[in-house]
Amino acid sequence: MDLTEEQLLEAIRRVLSGAGPEVRVGAGDDAAVLAPTAGELVITADALVENVHFRRGPTGARDLGYKAIVVSLSDIAAMGASPRSAVCTLTLSRDVEASWVMELFGGMREACDEYALWLVGGDLSRGGEIAISITVTGEVAPGRAVLRTGARPGDRLVVTGELGGSAAGLRLTRLRKMPTKEQREAILRHMRPTARVGEGGVLARYGATAMIDISDGLSLDLSRLLSASGVAARLELGSVPVANLATLEDALGGGEDYELLATLPDPGTVDAAASELKEALGVSLSEIGVVEEGHGAVSVGDDGTEQPLEPTGWDHFR
């Protein structure tokens, strides 16, 4: 790295969002300042660490920056909240070029522009490995955040979009030949995931009783939602929307899809929410099961056979 910290920070400030009416003070001071809102403040943080969450070779800096924002933003979406601001801390190893850092911030800026999010601050440190920690804030009308805890027996389990695409895409990045168009699309689902922000808002408006984003695989995130709500569920395996080139196993345990898993109070609401999502956002909503009293999840196969659904997703400490 041939720049001093001050020079690099100055260069980064130029790609950060400028001060708009909402941003009273942007990057460059001790802290950023944002205009007051009538809503509640929603806040969440996530880190991406080199060789754990990404490898520098296959993942370009711009894609990585974009994805770092989406990963945190997805948690804001899962509350039914609107995104507002992002701050990041970035740890850089000695072998990182300044141009790589600028590309990374370029990707972060790109995602922020796409999701109407202000990137208002950053902090740089040296370290032995690259680590990107992003905090995203959002806003929600008082009392309207959708938690993991509200699912009730009888609610319908729904999921946006398709699952397993990211896992399939990750596998395809290891291909040693030129990918087909279909394969490129799957790779893109892994490299450039979508945060379901608009979808979270629609599901909240239709009275979602609980919601979570699927970051670690359907089976693990479903078990988190059920456990937080103190309920059980029956999952119809044949109804799980499996992405193109993915397997049911990818969908259940692959992770990084960033689709939303929610519970809606009745079939009529599911149909209405599905229509609106399809028309307004072009996104499918699949009913994949039902909430029951008890503990844990049971999967139901196409032939009616039932068995306990083991959470098979990503655990950093296993």
Site for its own copies in 167-196 (CB under 8 A): none
What DSSP letter does each residue of 164-188 carry, written as one string?
SHHHHHHHHTT-SSPPPHHHHHHHH
Does 38 sit near its own copies (CB under 8 A)?
Answer: yes
**CA-CA distance, 289 to 26, in Å (whole number)?**
45
The gap from C-alpha 67 to its chain's centroid, in whole angstroms, comes to 9
Please, are residues 115 and 201 in contact by the beta-carbon 8 Å criterion? Answer: no
Q: What residues between 213 and 252 interact with its own copies by CB under 8 A?
A: 213, 228
In the complex, minimum distance from the CB of residue 226 to its own copies, in angstroms, rounded to a whole number: 13
Binding window for its own copies (CB under 8 A); candidates: 2-10, 168-176, 229-237, 295-303:
2-10
Does 25 sit near its own copies (CB under 8 A)?
Answer: yes
Comparing CA positions, the residue from 239, 246, 238 lying closest to residue 166 is 246
Identify which of residues 47 and 272 has a Cβ nearer to its own copies in the complex.
Answer: 47
Kindly list the distances between the CA atom of residue 159 and the CA atoms of 147, 185, 187, 194, in Å, as whole numbers in the listed order: 16, 20, 21, 14
Identify which of residues 121 and 193 has a Cβ nearer to its own copies in the complex.
Answer: 121
Q: Which two tokens stand for residue 34?
A: 């944002």
Q: Which two tokens stand for residue 46?
A: 């996530």
Comparing CA positions, the residue from 166, 146, 136, 147 lying closest to residue 46 is 136
Residue of the chain from 14, 18, 20, 24 that contacts its own copies (CB under 8 A): 24
Q: Residues 6 or more apart from 70 whose CB is under 8 A from it? A: 111, 192, 193, 194, 195, 258
Q: What residues between 84 and 123 interact with its own copies by CB under 8 A?
A: 85, 87-91, 120-123
Does 303 sit near its own copies (CB under 8 A)?
Answer: no
Identify which of residues 103 and 186 has a Cβ nearer to its own copies in the complex.
Answer: 103
Identify which of residues 31 and 178 has a Cβ nearer to its own copies in the complex.
Answer: 31
Identify which of residues 98 and 248 has a Cβ nearer to its own copies in the complex.
Answer: 98
Identify which of residues 90 and 158 has a Cβ nearer to its own copies in the complex.
Answer: 90
Does 281 sit near its own copies (CB under 8 A)?
Answer: no
Q: What residues between 116 and 145 interact with its own copies by CB under 8 A?
A: 120-129, 131, 133, 135, 137-138, 140, 142-143, 145
Does 62 sit near its own copies (CB under 8 A)?
Answer: no
Binding window for its own copies (CB under 8 A); candidates: 11-19, 28-36, 170-178, 180-188:
28-36
In the complex, minimum distance from the CB of residue 230 to its own copies, in angstroms, rounded to a whole number: 13
Half-sphere exposure at residue 137, Cβ-oriented, CA atoms within 13 angstroms: 20
In the complex, minimum distance from the CB of residue 24 to its own copies, in angstroms, rounded to a whole number: 6
Q: Is 106 helix (H, G, I), strand (E, B) or coil?
A: helix
In the complex, minimum distance from the CB of residue 305 to its own copies, in angstroms, rounded to a whole number: 28
**CA-CA distance, 109 to 104, in Å (whole number)?**
9
Q: Which two tokens stand for residue 245?
A: 């080139």
Q: Which two tokens stand for residue 234?
A: 């029956």
In the complex, minimum distance from the CB of residue 178 to its own copies, in angstroms, rounded to a whole number: 33
**Strand blocks (E) in 50-172:** 82-92, 118-126, 131-140, 156-160
